Amino acid sequence: MASKEKNMEALRAFFWPQTIAIVGASSDPRKPGGRVVQLLKEFSFPGEIIPINPGRREIQGLPCYPSLEEVKERVDLVVVSVPAAQVPGVVKQCAALGLKRLVIISGGFGELGREGRLLQDRLRQLVLEHDLTVLGPNCVGFINTLQPATPSFVLYVEGERLRSGSAAFIAQSGALGMLAVFLASREKMGFAYVISTGNEVDLDFASMISFLSREPRVKAIGGYLEGVNDGDALRRAFREAAAARKPVLILKAGSSSEAAEAIRSHTGAMAGSSEAYRAVFKEEGVLSASTLTELLSMFKAFQPGRLPQGNRVAVYSLSGGMGILTTELCPEYGLEMASFHPATVEQLQRLMPSIATVRNPLDATAAVALNLEDIRRSIELVLEDPGVDIFIFVTPFWRVFGTAASRMLVEVARHTEKPFLVIWPAATKEVKNELYENGVPLYDEIREAVFAAGALWEYARFQKHREVPDPVGPPPVPASVSASARNRLRECRGRLSEVAAKELLRLYGIDTPRGAVVQELREAVEAARQIGYPIVLKAVSPLLAHKTEAGAVFLEIKGDEELRRAWEQMEHNLREKVPDLVPEGFLVEEMVPGGSELVVGIKIDPVFGPLLMLGAGGILVELIKDISLRPAPVSPAQVLEMLGELKTGALWRGYRGRSGLDLDSLAEAVARFSVMGSDLREEVRELEINPLLPSPDGRAVAADALILLK
């Protein structure tokens, strides 16, 4: 967790040092302290490099000082590369000398069990006590290619030059960050900043997103994320990036329990559920990658800084097969094939009579023999079509025109505002270089390109949506309701009975079936007549976890006699199956006719807090795991969005006749439930309405409810 909010100036000073001292500098470039010196020299750090090592007078051709105290110059940044046990001493010395900006490379802290954690706590205390700004420990360092400054001990690039660019990368595994730099350099891409945050004793993933959001030269922010401890801070940082219109692209690790365990020992981050991260990413417009390749694919697509107006793609192919494969993948990534305007079709046909039918994908195979100018003009015609939002050019070889072809593509790409992606696996090195150098996103794999195009649209849509904020928001619930609900829960442990759970739902304005709790058959009959048959009979007890298995539920009881038989049967079932149970009473409840069902749940995530789950109920829950998740609370409009994300979404939306559910009532009920979960996050562990059913007049009714307490 960031110890203190850092202002932009302080962070800029940190990442733009004029003088860097390296404590633990070495003549041996295989040692991290030696490598830092070497890299600063190799990548032309314009400021002064000051090695500190008591045993040397000179290191890698630079005068070396025995300690920081001997240095006369003003030092802007200290890189610490000495064994962990010595780190607190060095940090104290820095503080005493007024040196407040440190990169601590040394490992052997939180990632190394109890002793390491104690050492890390000591370090954190020093940071707070002396108001220091610290990156690490257990990190690789950072690179700022704009200056350039490379206080890092890992950095490899292909080619001589350290490239710069408009993207930045934050890595909770330094080596992975530097691998991204290397892979990007092979495609002539560079990053403005790469920051390895390590164990995050001070500067953390969220604070770095926030810094980069405010750094005008950065246009896109990527990250390798293992986990955070402060979910709210991360969400605030994502929002800052969104407001600055900078896409955040994240490769998140930790979806299996083994990986989550490895993360705990790697950086010591708390593992929130991967579902929670996914829900938060969705909500905050963060784009997810599942591999480093996907992440770089997105970086490439975002590099030109263009967003599509819509999701309609034109595929222009010089190979029928590749065009078809590209087309085929589009729906998977939320893209539609554009239909060309009749005027475009007519002009294309006039220009390329060899094309029998003009359609999308446009297969220009037969036209390849034509001159390059005709191909250029036909691409321009497609790009000018108002029904086209994204352009994908795809070809396997196409070597007849040499680099004249890539030059042509660079030029047309430059003259359009629409995203322009090229898939050209067998392009020559010269052609590839030309496209890379000019920032035209070039891909070897069809899927990578379509994935990246989908990401552009997803982000564009997110930004459009963000600009029109939801005017309603989560339903307002009076403070007295929250207070009263919390009061009721204070006395309870374990789980609530269904009756108690439903009382809480009603308190939050969520409808439940009409019902009464009775002790005797006579009262049951009276209640049933008042409610009106058919009714439901259930035993009530907080200890009754599985009512159906215990034979403690009878549905659709149609008359007095059937009720009497059900009552006797239930008494028998309870005696047989749960002999120790003394029910609090029996619930006689209106039978909600049912039909399509939904399940709504809330889980309290350790990092992000309450998480709302909406899913298809009944057997569909198990069968197709059809669910949508959002951080709670949500607005009714968001509930409708979630509904739209379900595979069975069409069943619920616009099918009043089929599902019987009134959508407004459903949205309101689920939104209220999300407010309830959010209000009671300190008291509850899990809440569930299963099923949520339509009443005869379409209102959403919570037919059964479960509340588990902390």
| Sites of contact with ligand COA (CB under 6 A) | 23-24, 26-28, 31-33, 52-56, 81-83, 86, 90, 105-108, 138-140, 174-175
Min separation Cβ 51 and ligand COA, Å? 9
The three-class DSSP label of residue 208 is helix
Q: Which is nearer to ligand COA, 83 or 559 (CB)?
A: 83
Min separation Cβ 205 and ligand COA, Å? 14
Q: Name, in order, each residue with C-beta under 8 angstroms of 466's C-beta and a sequence gap of 6 or more.
A: 242, 285
The Cα–Cα gap between 133 and 126 comes to 10
Cβ–Cβ contacts within 10 Å for residue 386, how many?
11
- What six digits make up the tokens of 272? 């929130």
231-243 helix and 205-214 helix, angle to the nearest 10 degrees? 10
Distances (CA, A) of 87 to 117, 422, 689: 14, 50, 53
547-553 long-range CB contacts below 8 Å, 24 or more apart? 547/498, 549/577, 550/574, 550/577, 550/578, 550/581, 551/576, 551/577, 552/578, 552/583
Min separation Cβ 126 and ligand COA, Å? 15
Min separation Cβ 335 and ligand COA, Å? 38
- What six digits make up the tokens of 406? 């890539």
Give the angle 70-75-76 at the CA atoms, nearest 5°. Answer: 165
DSSP state of 149: B
Q: Rg of the Cα trace of the chain?
A: 31
Q: Which is nearer to ligand COA, 86 or 349 (CB)?
A: 86
Q: Which is nearer to ligand COA, 64 or 338 (CB)?
A: 64
Min separation Cβ 37 and ligand COA, Å? 11
In what helix (H) or strand (E) does residue 658 lie, and over which residues does it extend? helix 656-659
Q: Which is nearer to ligand COA, 269 or 602 (CB)?
A: 269
DSSP state of 207: H
Q: Name, in order, each residue with C-beta under 8 angstroms of 417's C-beta and a sequence gap of 6 or more.
A: 306
Distances (CA, A) of 464 to 84, 242, 459, 472: 48, 11, 9, 17
Q: Which is nearer to ligand COA, 27 or 406 (CB)?
A: 27
Q: Which is nearer to ligand COA, 32 or 151 (CB)?
A: 32
Q: Which is nearer to ligand COA, 55 or 216 (CB)?
A: 55
The Cα–Cα gap between 633 and 611 comes to 8
Min separation Cβ 120 and ligand COA, Å? 13
Residues present in the chain in total: 710
Min separation Cβ 248 and ligand COA, Å? 22
Q: Which is nearer to ligand COA, 56 or 130 (CB)?
A: 56
Q: Pick left, alpha or beta for residue 138 (phi over 0 → left; psi -120 to 50 → alpha; otherwise beta).
A: left
Min separation Cβ 195 and ligand COA, Å? 12
Q: Which is nearer to ligand COA, 174 or 694 (CB)?
A: 174
Min separation Cβ 65 and ligand COA, Å? 9
Which residue is associated with the tokens 């009497």? 564
Count Cα atoms within 13 angstroms, Cβ side, for 226: 26
Q: Which is nearer to ligand COA, 40 or 394 (CB)?
A: 40
Give the angle 381-382-383 at the CA atoms, nearest 5°. Answer: 90
The Cα–Cα gap between 428 and 448 comes to 19
Q: Which is nearer to ligand COA, 177 or 247 (CB)?
A: 177
Identify each DSSP E strand in 396-492 by its residue range: 420-423, 442-443
Min separation Cβ 33 and ligand COA, Å? 5
Q: Which is nearer to ligand COA, 13 or 95 (CB)?
A: 95
Q: Which is nearer to ligand COA, 39 or 82 (CB)?
A: 82
Q: Name, in order, each residue with C-beta under 8 angstroms of 676's C-beta and a sequence gap of 6 or more.
A: 477, 485, 504, 505, 508, 510, 602, 687
Q: Which is nearer to ligand COA, 87 or 248 (CB)?
A: 87
Min separation Cβ 604 and ligand COA, Å? 32
Min separation Cβ 123 and ligand COA, Å? 13
Min separation Cβ 173 and ligand COA, Å? 6
Min separation Cβ 254 and ligand COA, Å? 17
Q: Which is nearer to ligand COA, 32 or 222 (CB)?
A: 32
Residue type, 87: V
Q: Name, in order, each residue with C-beta under 8 angstroms of 256's C-beta and a sequence gap of 6 or more.
A: none
The three-class DSSP label of residue 587 is strand
Q: State how beta strands 191-196 and 336-337 pair.
A: unpaired
Min separation Cβ 312 and ligand COA, Å? 44
Residue 515 pairs with which residues in a beta bridge? 589
- What six digits make up the tokens of 327? 């087309």
Question: Which residue's CB comes closest to ligand COA?
Answer: 26
- What six digits make up the tokens of 530? 């008042």
